[in-house]
Amino acid sequence: MLTQERVHEQLMPSPLVAVVQGFADDAVVVDEISKVFVRKSRFRRPGQAAKERKEVRAVDDVSFTVRRNEIFGILGANGSGKSTLIRMMSTLLIPDHGRIRVFDFDVRKDEREVKRLINRVSVEASFFKKLSPMENLRYALRLYGRSGAGVRQEIVEVLQMLGIEPDRIGQPLEQLSRGMQQKVAIARAFLTAPVLLLLDEPTTGLDPRSKKDVQAFVHRLRNEHDATIILCSHDMNEAEELCDRIAVLDKGRLVALDTVDGLKRSVGIEMGDPNPTLEDVFIHLTGRGIDDVDEEAEEQ
């Protein structure tokens, strides 16, 4: 019988843990990071140049440190810069200013080493869409040096835990819903057991049961596989349930950083409310709801 405990027991410790054993307690150091995008105006107003350029500061002089084995949350409205920040941590974007180090490797100078240590789950999962979940996951695990008969069964059990039926595991990914594709992306991240897992809105589109399964896997990875997790989420309950500390971004700038209880306590005093919710805290700090869009600093 398939049980959550059985699947968790089969998640193999990452072979990359040994690579970072001798490093300091800081998993990620973000030091005065900035990123500016240049936009061209889509519409021409009377008297306006045909191609007016506008600079958008997506991330503006942000600094923080993520401790090893921590679940660190980043909250921000759409356009606040959180996804841009995650992409810079994962070497997909180059910072214009500042420095990011992942287990003492510089994301710009040591790109290959950083890529070995991380895995990223975003809203837009990247796959070979003509291949099945099984084929995609077996390929991914081979890149991490894992193969053999036991891997196939492990893949099946993790996918089933995330609610993907056995008859779907062999179908091309392009025939599966976006929610199911997201579950496969989450399974890929967990099965490769990275030492740094970057989760950018990982449970968007998932049903409540699947969300709970993902949250349980996140705790298990941290507690038993020495993983550090950075989570961007629109789900306040998810952030409160999972995160040891939370950074709040607004218009590309860091406006607060503390534990959930610490944020509630300090902001509650400012608000005159002894028991604010995390959503109350967010609105007080940013002046907007988590689902609002910052048009001036919308992420690229």
DSSP 287: S
Strands 97-102, 26-40: pairing kind: antiparallel
User: Which pLDDT value is given to residue 153?
Assistant: 87
Domain boundaries, the chain: 4-39+54-70+85-234
> pLDDT of 158-179, one tens digit each?
888 777 888 899 999 888 887 7
DSSP 293: B
64 or 149, higher pLDDT: 64
Instruction: Say if residues 187 and 156 touch (Cβ distance below 8 Å).
Output: no
User: Which pLDDT value is given to residue 240?
Assistant: 92
Strands 71-75, 245-250: pairing kind: parallel
Closest alpha carbon to 227 in 63, 86, 102: 102
Mean pLDDT score, 32-46: 77
DSSP 33: E
User: Which pLDDT value is given to residue 24?
Assistant: 62
Residue 62 has pLDDT above 60, yes or no: yes
**Which class for 17: exposed (0-12), middle (13-18), buried (19 or more C-beta within 10 A)?**
middle
Instruction: Say if residues 72 and 231 touch (Cβ distance below 8 Å).
Output: yes
Burial annotation 56-78 (CB, 10 A radius, 16+ → b, else e): bbbbbebebebebbbbbbbbbbb
Q: What is the DSSP string of 44-88?
A: PPTT--TT-EEEEEEEEEEEEEEETT-EEEEE--BTSSHHHHHHH
The tokens of 200 are what?
């950018």
Residue 243 has pLDDT above 90, yes or no: yes
User: Which pLDDT value is given to residue 253?
Assistant: 95
> Cβ of 113: how many Cβ atoms within 10 Å?
15
CATH of the domain spanning 4-39+54-70+85-234: 3.40.50.300
Residue 1 has pLDDT above 70, yes or no: no
Residue 142 has pLDDT above 90, yes or no: no
62 or 119, higher pLDDT: 62
Alpha-carbon distance 191 to 236, whole Å?
26
Instruction: Say if residues 27 and 107 touch (Cβ distance below 8 Å).
Output: no
> pLDDT of 195-231, one tens digit each?
999 998 888 777 887 788 788 878 888 887 789 999 9
pTM over 0.85, yes/no: no
Q: How many CA atoms lie within 13 A of 44 on its CB side?
A: 6
Alpha-carbon distance 286 to 80, whole Å?
10
User: Which pLDDT value is given to residue 300?
Assistant: 46
User: Rounded mean pLDDT of the chain?
Assistant: 83
User: Which pLDDT value is given to residue 147?
Assistant: 79
> pLDDT of 98-124, one tens digit each?
999 999 999 999 999 998 889 888 766
Instruction: Say if residues 58 and 230 touch (Cβ distance below 8 Å).
Output: no
Closest alpha carbon to 243 in 256, 255, 226, 261: 261
Most confident of 71-75, 77-81, 284-288: 71-75
